[in-house]
Amino acid sequence: MIQTNPVRVLNVLGTTNLGGAESRVMELYRALDRTKVQFDFLVHTDKVGQYDQEIRSLGGSIYSVPRFRGMNLLSYQSALRRFFREHHAYAAVQGHMTSTAAIYLPIAKKAGIPVTIAHARSAGVDRGMKGIVTKIVRAPLKYRADYCFTCSAEAGEAVYGRAWVRQGKVWTVPNAIDTCRFLFDASVRMQVRSDLGLMGKFVIGHVGRFGFMKNHAYLIDIFAELCKLRDDAALVLIGKGELEGTIRAKVQAMGLSDKVLFLGNRFDVERYYQAFDYFVFPSVFEGLPGSVAEAQAAGLQCLVSDRVTREAALTELAVYKSIEEPPVSWASEIMRNAKKALMREEHSRAIMETFADKGFDVRQQAAAMAAFYISGSNPPGHVTQSTVQKL
């Protein structure tokens, strides 16, 4: 049978802003053959998202439902039922927001959507009551989705449980990227550094939302120690979030305001990786951080928290260190490898081959995912017993 129209897949997210999950979905979306597979989006906000214009330009539609707040369970379910009664001609629904996927995926299934997918993208939850509620609500998720996807074995265990992973019921879909966007470019490096006033500086970079999990306060402590070791240090922070004001205040209180740049969210983040000399990522928890993959694709030395899965170490550029160690220990590690920052250009070809071999090339992934969406079976990749034992 000849396929005349693209199958449509609904991606469920919190927003369509420049977040980690959103960026990974968009990376895949751009690479898909959209004559065969088309994406739509269901988000939990009525605010305009930063990716909205691009999504519509690619042929996608964006719908919204109210955010789940715990006490509004009945109205949340009612809104979802109304939505899926009107929008049920999808080949699949893929829930990247697993906190409430155990609620919306069964409703989608009952409405007649043949394939439901839960996609775990984080190995932790927020602190306090919000995290407790998340764990309770998503506890039955593995029983309520046709397929359980994850970005890493660690995230798979956190969301679905170790036994589910060991039984081979969880599929790994790597956080693939377009490596060509991030490969080192000396001319871009010079331009960005000039624009930001960073010529002659040793630049530490970080890309991530200002939230608890990213551990920015510890990053600032590391940078303060690095400043004691070299006068030319500068720190560039890309991202937005609820803790940005707190971190700005900390930077000011420590007398570092003239050395730290807050750049907000950037659509052209690949240009800023070129300007960095070192990438530092001291997260408290993650799924599989796309920014660490992007930094390696850009040829950057990366110093990464030991709480981040080793699956993020796609190359030898990524080195892990405990966030229980004092910040000066991280600063000393950066100094030991500082000279390697000058060797980026020679890594490019090997990096592209490595990413492809490990399933992190988005073009390969797009082809594999398209085949899955069209057939409704045989998802790409798989978490095996040996994968779990490596953790």
Averaged pLDDT score across all residues of the chain: 92
Tokens 């895949």 belong to which residue?
Answer: 28
Tokens 């039955």 belong to which residue?
Answer: 140
Q: Is the pLDDT of residue 391 over 50?
A: no
Rounded to whole angstroms, how far apart are CA atoms 94 and 342?
A: 42
CATH architecture of 7-176+361-389: 3-Layer(aba) Sandwich (3.40)
Output the pTM of the full model: 0.87
pLDDT digits (tens, 9 = 90+) for 18-28: 988 999 999 99
Q: Is the pLDDT of residue 67 over 60?
A: yes
pLDDT for residue 388: 36
Q: Is the pLDDT of residue 3 over 60?
A: no
CA distances from 117 to 80, 91, 373 (A): 16, 11, 11
Structure confidence at residue 203 as a pLDDT band (50, 70, 90): very high
Residue 171 · residue 147 · CB < 8 Å: yes
What would the two tokens of residue 115 be?
A: 């394939």
Q: Is the pLDDT of residue 383 over 70?
A: no
Least Cα distance to 313 among 301, 322, 331 occurs for 301
In the three-class reduction of DSSP (H, G, I as helix; E, B as strand; rest coil), residue 142 is classed as helix
CA distances from 287 to 26, 119, 159, 280 (A): 17, 11, 10, 17
CA distances from 107 to 7, 87, 382 (A): 20, 12, 27
Rounded to whole angstroms, how far apart are CA atoms 297 and 177?
A: 9
pLDDT for residue 339: 82
CATH of 179-355, one of 3.30.10.20, 1.10.1370.30, 3.40.50.2000, 1.10.10.10: 3.40.50.2000
Rounded to whole angstroms, how far apart are CA atoms 169 and 323?
A: 32
pLDDT for residue 386: 36
pLDDT digits (tens, 9 = 90+) for 99-152: 999 999 999 999 999 999 999 998 877 777 777 887 888 899 999 999 999 999
pLDDT digits (tens, 9 = 90+) for 254-311: 999 999 999 999 999 999 999 999 999 999 999 899 999 999 999 999 999 999 999 9
pLDDT digits (tens, 9 = 90+) for 68-106: 998 999 999 999 999 999 999 999 999 999 999 999 999
Structure confidence at residue 64 as a pLDDT band (50, 70, 90): very high
Structure confidence at residue 381 as a pLDDT band (50, 70, 90): low
In the three-class reduction of DSSP (H, G, I as helix; E, B as strand; rest coil), residue 273 is classed as helix
Q: Is the pLDDT of residue 365 over 70?
A: yes
pLDDT digits (tens, 9 = 90+) for 227-257: 999 999 999 999 999 999 999 999 999 999 9
Which regions of the chain carry the CATH code 3.40.50.2000?
7-176+361-389, 179-355
